[in-house]
Amino acid sequence: MNLVESLRTHRLLAIVRGKDPAAALRTVRTLTEEGIAAIEVSLTTADALTVIRRARAELGPEALLGAGTVRSAVDAANAVEAGASYLVTPALVDGLEPYGVPVLMGALTPTEIELALARGAAAIKLFPGSLGGPGYLRALRDPFPEVPFVPVGGVDAQAARDYLDRGAVAVGVGSPLVGDAAEGGDLDGLRARAAEFRRVAAGGTP
């Protein structure tokens, strides 16, 4: 299953970032155990490339393990070499096509969306989603009915339900899902939040 197919099917992208590489790796492992299919490790995570490399070795070649906060072609090259199977950017980034992996490119305005699509984006990371909220996504669906949107930024369980109801193919969720787990915090809490977000993604209520 490719990235966009997984997003359409599972409707959830987990975003891991933290200052403790070992805890970040445990977080990736726990999310996988809890059935989260697509996981992004932000390059702002301490020793992020090692986290990605070790997670790839543990999870195998088919896992949807990506790198986030990719801001340059150099970031992309390093991430793909470490084992990232897709890239997530916070904004428009040039020069990512040669790496041969799907890109979830950050955009906010209609102009930025068009530019991201022209750069070959597989899907649009609507960021920061909290700036316009679910109503803004709904407005974008009229001129861009076929574009796969993934809102990111401030997406709690209720916002996730609202975005999905308004046409998002998936939502990207960081701290409302991960909490303090990637800093060495509570994994039981992470498991409980993962179950809640999976329930919401499947059509349930928060």
Question: What are the average pLDDT values for consecutive 10-residue runs of the chain, which has 206 residues?
Answer: 90 97 98 97 98 98 97 98 98 95 98 98 97 96 97 97 97 98 96 98 90
Angle separating helix axes 157-165 and 129-141, nearest 10 degrees: 20
pLDDT score at 1:
65
Both tokens assigned to 24 = 């970040």
Q: Measuring CA to CA, which residue among 32, 36, 38, 12 is closest to residue 155?
A: 12
pLDDT score at 101:
97
pLDDT score at 205:
84
Both tokens assigned to 136 = 């803004």
> Rounded to 5 degrees, what are φ and ψ at 57?
-60, -35
Catalytic site positions: 40, 125
pLDDT score at 2:
86
As a whole number of angstroms, the longest Cα–Cα distance in the chain is 44
